[in-house]
Amino acid sequence: MNSFFENKIQQFINSPNNSRIWWHSIPLPNGDRIRSCHEDQELQFQMWNALQIDNSGGLKGKKVLDIGANDGFFSIAASMAGASEVTSVDKNWETWPKNLKYISKIWNVDIEIITADFRNYDFNKRYDVIFFFGVLYHLEDVFTSIKKLKNLLEDDGVLYIETQMSQLQSNLPLFEYASDIYPTIAIQDKKYLDNVGISNYLFPNESAIYNLAYSYDFDCDSLGGKKNRYSQNHPSRQIFKFIKKQDLKIRLTSDDLKSRDYLSGDWSLPETIGTWTDGTEANLSIPLDSIISQKHSNIQVKITAVPFLHERHPQQIIDILIAGKPLTQWTYSFSKSINSSKTLTIPVALIQQSNCLDLTLKILTPISPEAVGFNNDTRKLGIMVQLIEITGSYN
């Protein structure tokens, strides 16, 4: 484990760079810790532990964006947890980016520092992880901001949100409007309304957070529980994990099938326009990564194929199995116009556990071209698979 996370304190020191104030209590490589202006010097470590990110490589290879980075505790932590890129954003405050530059140099961490309002800054890239701590309730335009964050995330990207919560108890999604004249959870501080980050606007209740996630196509988990000492010690503040939903789209062409990575069992050698089944049982195994969940609708598998038919063999019958379980039967007839594309509807439960589409084609009536007098080809043909398209949308 990197010494940044050991959290062993030799002594607290006041502003080692002579900055007027430090908002984050950050460890130093020599074992000292910078004293923050907060009464609770464990605040940042409690928040980090609540995220449940493995300190030893939990962000390995990830691009991380820290919005409202302040003194940079979470930017440094992300880098120490293996992030390949860390971008820190904040507005031009008194101590920004002075404190972050100091602490990143002390820890020998390369961080991209941007002084801007994230809402109108052109980042020109997308990120795997976004930290959004202590920002949401300062925003007048919560909804357009969440929409922008979604667009900044890679598919399957994660947005961590920490926010002041409304204490209003309701099953309905409510935002408590900060006020200087009504007894809201915190004041509005009207004189700073034009200074984002100081004044307050909307405090959500838990239902509002879940509804916000739903509106912009995120899965949402509350990071509460025993591991979250932060929210236990500060009950009006909570942390949520938003995961960007991804529709499933996979397209395998005849060229893709040439690699035979997806094929096993009774298949012939690939040809220019497709691959024939050659025998009675041909298997397809297509990895679906880790994106299948119960919140996906049924998976649609469209297979474009050409059957081998002849007037002396006018029918091909094929049983379709998914994960070894019978799903349906396809019949191709010589006397009818042949639809070369057929679509399977597969229940998510049949593939969710393995995150792999295991499809078996049981050819009940294979036959060789030689047997029907067509040519001297002795392969026992069923269908030539030319294209496989897999789709699945969120409910």
Q: Which amino acid is at 35?
A: R
Taking residues 208-237, what's their average pLDDT? 91
Instruction: Give the rounded percent of residues in the chain with a pLDDT score beyond 70.
Output: 95
For the chain, report the end-to-end CA distance as a whole number of angstroms. Answer: 41
**Contact predicate 313/365, CB 8 Å:** yes
How much is the pLDDT for 259? Answer: 82
- For residue 337, is pLDDT > 60? no
Angstrom distance (rounded) from CA 161 to CA 282: 48
How much is the pLDDT for 289? Answer: 61
DSSP 23-90: SS--B-TTS-EEPPSSS-TTHHHHHHHHHT--TTTTTTT-EEEEET-TT-HHHHHHHHTT-SEEEEEE
Q: Distance of CA 376 to CAs 83, 368, 372, Å? A: 60, 9, 10
Bond before 235 cis per omega within 30 degrees: no
State the pLDDT confidence band at 352, using cuts at 50, 70 and 90: low
- Three-state SS at 45: helix
State the pLDDT confidence band at 1, using cuts at 50, 70 and 90: very low
Taking residues 202-228, what's their average pLDDT? 91
How much is the pLDDT for 395? Answer: 56
Taking only the tens place, the pLDDT of each residue in 140-169 is: 999 999 999 999 999 889 999 999 999 988
Taking residues 341-362, what's their average pLDDT? 85
How much is the pLDDT for 394? Answer: 60
- Three-state SS at 38: coil
How much is the pLDDT for 295? Answer: 56
Taking only the tens place, the pLDDT of each residue in 267-312 is: 999 999 999 999 999 999 998 764 555 555 678 899 999 999 999 9
Report the number of secondary-structure helices (H) and strands (E) in the chain: 7, 20
Go through the domains of the chain in sequence order and give each one's CATH number.
3-244 (3.40.50.150), 248-392 (2.60.120.260)
**Contact predicate 373/313, CB 8 Å:** no
Taking residues 376-381, what's their average pLDDT? 97
